[in-house]
Amino acid sequence: MPLVFVATPLGNLRDITVRTLDVLRDARLIVAEDTRSAKKLLHALGLPGREIWSYREQNAGRATPAILERARNELVAVTTDAGMPGVSDPGSELVTAAREAGVAVEVLPGPSAAIGVALLSGFPLRRFGFEGFPPRASGARRERFVRALQGDATTIWYESPRRLRATLSDLAAVAADARVFLVREYTKLHEEQLAGSPAEILARLNEEIRGEVAFAIAPHRRAAQTAGRSGAGPAIDALLAQGHPVREVAKILAGDGYGDRRELYARASERKARRKTPIKDR
């Protein structure tokens, strides 16, 4: 019998698929990130009283062998709180373990906030990358943005409503002209869509931000290449703040299209010297 990964609705229960209902009804065991959320969903779908096991990052090592043993002889469904299991949620390691153990795996198509925000953005999608959640620390976020935005692909991100303002502020610091599309509470009653620069979206956010957040950033490498001498400053500062030596800053930004490596080295050395707390070069 297979181990079947099924996407669950992000908010609107009518987004459930017929195949997902079939699997949830026929499964002898349901594996869930949060058993409480799974019980609420199954009750709402008219499928109460199912056997549910917890599978999350903290217990994955202990739970995996027993889950796979059940899947050898019975239909086992894997869910998450909302959306597709394994996308910024536990699940991908379970797929790997199942393959190694010779257990068949199926993935049913279904709701995904990452794909939804990508299409809603209107940004180019011949190539796009899912970046997940940005780092929690400001300096690490800025460095992540600097590295991610210099390709020629749209990038997709998730973020907690508690950290959204700080995240957009860090994005503005390294790419003030970035084009951003943000969706809050996707598919839910109070869905909100915002488009503009990081600063413009910040200005339009409600004082209290609630719900799930996903956002897309348009390809930005061309903007970095044409920004010239003035555009490299914030990127240099962000990398210096993370403790990168000057030579590494120059190498990274030259590779990202900010200009000549030797000129970037000189600029980074100058900006490093101006910092209130100089960072020792390695």
Pairwise CA distance, residues 105 & 95, whole Å? 7
Q: What percent of the chain has pLDDT over 70?
A: 93
Give me the mean pLDDT over the 142-165 stretch: 92
Q: Is 172 within 8 Å of 197 (Cβ atoms)? A: yes
pLDDT digits (tens, 9 = 90+) for 21-48: 999 999 999 999 899 999 999 999 999 9
Give me the mean pLDDT over the 16-21 stretch: 95
The residue with greater pLDDT, 70 or 276, is: 70
Residue 256 confidence class, pLDDT cut points 50, 70, 90: low
Q: Residue 202: which region, alpha, beta or left (left: phi > 0; alpha: psi -120 to 50)? A: alpha
The SS3 assignment for 183 reads strand
pLDDT at position 222 is: 47
Pairwise CA distance, residues 48 & 62, whole Å? 26
Pairwise CA distance, residues 71 & 64, whole Å? 11
- DSSP classification of residue 191: -
Mean pLDDT of the chain: 89
Q: What percent of the chain has pLDDT over 90?
A: 66
